[in-house]
Amino acid sequence: MDLSIAYALYFAARGQGSATESSEPDSTHTAYTTPARVLLSGLGADELFGGYSRHPAAFANNGYAGLIDELLLDVGRLGKRNLGRDDRAMAHWSKEVRFPFLDERLVGWAMQAPAWDKCDFEHGEETTGIEAGKRVLRLLASELGMEGVAKEKKRAVSLAFSICFVFLLEQHLTFAQIQFGSRTAKMESGRVKGTTLIS
């Protein structure tokens, strides 16, 4: 289990922290516990739409054929690598988790869509000024008037959650959002992922 992500989900599902009335540095912090019982996860956005750093590397090494192989590998191992971990972390606090990007219709569409429509590593930012990874989601964010989100550099799950947030606003639902650094899974030395078992 990738503990760095499990930790983030565990504490997000706990739903305890502090809230401020503004983003000013001297704002007063008040203890807050969310009443949310269901949390949203952006899981699937990177895997379906080429959001990881290994995706442009796969394209650079083997073109679209290499990218497609990498995307298929990622989607194929979602259940084994991610879903059980996320569900266990949430269930500890008697919360439920939903995965909007794993909706059957969306996954079906994404698996049929040409790779260059989802993530255009061939042209990069030169044609639209928008990052190549998760390009289709960034274009959607831009169309929804979220220019800042569309052009924001990759930061873990922020783009996926922002798009989920717009959907929830339209549905008048409440949710808790988490965001965590994409490098927290790395060990202190080198680029090796932490694999120590916790008993």
Question: pLDDT under 50 in the chain at which residues?
Answer: 1, 156-159, 161-188, 198-199
Residue 87 domain-assigned (yes or no): yes
Q: 133-140: list long-range contacts, CB under 8 Å, 24+ apart.
A: 133/46, 133/49, 133/50, 133/51, 133/52, 133/55, 133/56, 134/45, 134/46, 134/49, 134/50, 134/51, 134/159, 134/160, 135/49, 135/50, 136/49, 137/45, 137/49, 137/163
Count of Cβ atoms closer than 10 Å to residue 8 Cβ: 19
Residue 148, domain CATH = 3.40.50.620
Residue 197 domain-assigned (yes or no): no
CB 143 within 8 A of CB 163: no
Residue 71: predicted pLDDT: 95
Residue 155 domain-assigned (yes or no): yes
Strands (E) in 22-181, as ranges, are 30-33, 38-40, 96-98
Residue 73 domain-assigned (yes or no): yes
Residue 178 domain-assigned (yes or no): no
Share the mean pLDDT of the chain: 77
Residue 172: predicted pLDDT: 40
Residue 47 domain-assigned (yes or no): yes
Q: How many domains does the chain have?
A: 1
Alpha-carbon gap, residue 162 to 61, rounded angstroms: 31
Residue 18 domain-assigned (yes or no): no
Residue 162 domain-assigned (yes or no): yes
Residue 30: predicted pLDDT: 87
User: For residue 99, what are the domain limits?
Assistant: 3-11+35-171
Q: pLDDT by residue (tens digit) across 38-96?
A: 888 888 999 999 998 899 999 999 999 999 999 999 999 998 888 888 888 888 999 88
